């Protein structure tokens, strides 16, 4: 199905405005990673093994559990990369420098505020507890891009390459060697971990993820190309990312703080090679995940319309879908726990004390997690689809913030 026709039979035509037409190739990719993110968080809150061990631990995991977790590594870098692409496209389509600066500052501050409040509470059901994840990284990245977008696109791309490829060189600096405010600043900028005396943790430090956003901005021109030229450029980009990953990863040259090791069988060796570091995102991780994301760009527009429609609905309403899924997943776990006789209080402060639920024997099997995941997607789809249709026919300023 041609990209311009995806969803045409079910979605109303947009009203005539000066707003730019959305690119289905971007919305489909964003929608897919949202679907995968829902799977990851459903596993986090429902799976009995999630509280017991890391699913990427080769000594304890199974191949299905490993790939259930590993495939969701696509989510964060794709979101952040596409945020950079979106900023480039806004500028390229006529949003003036000062107007774009104001928009990025306002939206970035809005995202940070929501991460500190509604989102952190949704994940933890306890407050205050600041759980700084991908929305925080995108929000701060937008604030910094309010300045960086004044530079030529090539310069921003070079900054992105330097940050993605070079931040690992600072791995020798450890937060525990710093004190007080210096430690918190280093955590926020470079190293995941606790926030000192502040309640909470940062999982997505700003600098490495800003690099990925700069890559998206610097490569955003690819998505302006005519469809055939765009596919060729994305193909070359995917081949470049994946080829460089193999060059660096297979001989353990550079790019990941956890080199792979020889295993007892070839299958485990493949898993170990693929087991790249996300916290913070290593160069190998970024190359592999963005390479796979570009491959998906080439295939998603060929999906049957039946499968494209939910992806487009989620991809056109990314923030609302993201926010809703947190409360549905965590709230659903709480309700199922109540049915099983587990006190609601044990689901509060989930991030601060997950061991309590492990003591309660909470959790379901992995195949049951997949069933719950599909149910949650079915609950999200009509809401996301209705809001996507509303956004297509309305242009109020506040719609860009939700």
Section 202-228 average pLDDT: 96
Q: Which of 106-110, 228-232, 260-264 has the lowest mean pLDDT?
A: 260-264
> pLDDT-derived band of residue 109, with 50, 70 and 90 as boundaries?
very high
Per-residue model confidence (pLDDT) at position 123: 94
Q: Which residues pair with 47 in a beta bridge?
A: 364
Enumerate the domain spans of the chain: 3-401
In angstroms, the CA 192 to CA 201 distance is 7
**pLDDT of 224 over the 50 cut:** yes
Section 231-248 average pLDDT: 97
The rounded percent of the chain whose pLDDT value lies above 90 is: 76
Per-residue model confidence (pLDDT) at position 94: 82
List, for residues 302-316, the tens digit of each pLDDT value: 999 999 999 999 999
In angstroms, the CA 311 to CA 36 distance is 11
Query: Which residues are CB-contacts of 277 (< 8 A; sequence separation ≥ 6)?
Result: 256, 257, 258, 284, 285
Q: Which of 65-79, 247-261, 283-297, 346-360 has the lowest mean pLDDT?
A: 346-360
**pLDDT of 15 over the 50 cut:** no
In angstroms, the CA 294 to CA 239 distance is 9
Per-residue model confidence (pLDDT) at position 370: 98
351's tokens: 């991030």
Sheet containing strand 198-202, edge to edge, reads 130-132, 198-202, 193-195
In angstroms and rounded to an integer, the radius of gyration of the C-alpha atoms of the chain is 21
Dihedral pair phi/psi, residue 193, rounded to 5°: 150, -170
List, for residues 339-359, the tens digit of each pLDDT value: 999 998 888 888 877 778 888
In angstroms, the CA 56 to CA 63 distance is 9
List, for residues 356-397, the tens digit of each pLDDT value: 888 888 999 999 999 999 999 999 999 999 999 998 888 777
Query: Which residues are CB-contacts of 29 (< 8 A; sequence separation ≥ 6)?
Result: 78, 82, 293, 296, 297, 300, 315
Section 96-116 average pLDDT: 94
Dihedral pair phi/psi, residue 199, rounded to 5°: -75, 115
In angstroms, the CA 200 to CA 130 distance is 4
Q: Which residue has the tokens 């060929």?
A: 302
Per-residue model confidence (pLDDT) at position 399: 74
Select from 244, 262, 264 the least CA-distant residue to 253: 244
Q: Which residue has the tokens 């056109």?
A: 316
Per-residue model confidence (pLDDT) at position 21: 63
**pLDDT of 271 over the 50 cut:** yes
Q: Answer positive or negative: Cα dihedral of 177, 179, 185, 188.
A: positive
* Run of H or E residues at 138: helix 134-148
């Amino acid at each position: 199905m041609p990209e311009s026709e995806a969803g045409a039979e079910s979605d109303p035509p947009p009203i005539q405005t000066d707003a730019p037409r959305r690119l289905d190739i971007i919305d489909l990719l964003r929608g897919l990673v949202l679907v995968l993110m829902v799977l990851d968080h459903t596993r986090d809150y429902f799976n009995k093994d999630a509280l017991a061990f890391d699913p990427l631990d080769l000594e304890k995991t199974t191949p299905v559990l490993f790939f259930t977790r590993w495939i969701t590594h696509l989510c964060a870098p794709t979101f952040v990369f596409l945020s950079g692409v979106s900023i480039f496209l806004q500028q390229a389509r006529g949003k003036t420098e000062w107007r774009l600066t104001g928009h990025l500052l306002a939206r970035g501050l809005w995202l940070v505020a929501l991460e500190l409040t509604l989102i952190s509470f949704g994940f933890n059901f306890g407050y205050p507890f600041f759980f700084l994840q991908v929305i925080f990284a995108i929000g701060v990245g937008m604030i910094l891009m309010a300045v960086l977008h004044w530079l030529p696109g090539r310069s921003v791309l070079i900054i992105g390459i330097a940050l993605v490829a070079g931040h690992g060189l600072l791995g020798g600096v450890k937060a525990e060697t710093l004190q007080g405010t210096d430690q918190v600043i280093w955590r926020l900028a470079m190293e995941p971990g606790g926030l000192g005396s502040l309640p909470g943790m940062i999982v997505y430090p700003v600098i490495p993820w800003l690099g990925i956003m700069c890559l998206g901005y610097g490569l955003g021109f690819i998505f302006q190309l005519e469809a055939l030229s765009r596919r060729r450029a994305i193909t070359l980009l995917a081949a470049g990312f994946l080829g460089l990953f193999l060059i660096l990863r297979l001989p353990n040259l550079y790019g990941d703080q956890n080199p792979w090791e020889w295993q007892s069988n070839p299958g485990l060796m493949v898993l170990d090679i693929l087991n790249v570091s996300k916290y913070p995102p290593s160069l190998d991780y970024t190359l592999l995940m963005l390479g796979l994301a570009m491959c998906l760009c080439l295939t998603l527009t060929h999906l049957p319309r039946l499968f494209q429609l939910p992806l487009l609905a989620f991809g056109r309403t990314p923030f609302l879908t993201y926010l809703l899924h947190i409360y549905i997943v965590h709230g659903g776990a709480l309700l199922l726990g109540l049915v099983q006789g587990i006190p609601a209080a044990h689901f509060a402060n989930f991030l601060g004390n997950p061991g309590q639920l492990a003591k309660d024997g909470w959790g379901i099997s992995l195949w049951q997690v997949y069933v719950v995941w599909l149910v949650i997607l079915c609950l999200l789809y009509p809401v996301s689809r209705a809001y996507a249709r509303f956004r297509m026919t309305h242009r109020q300023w506040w719609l860009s913030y939700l």
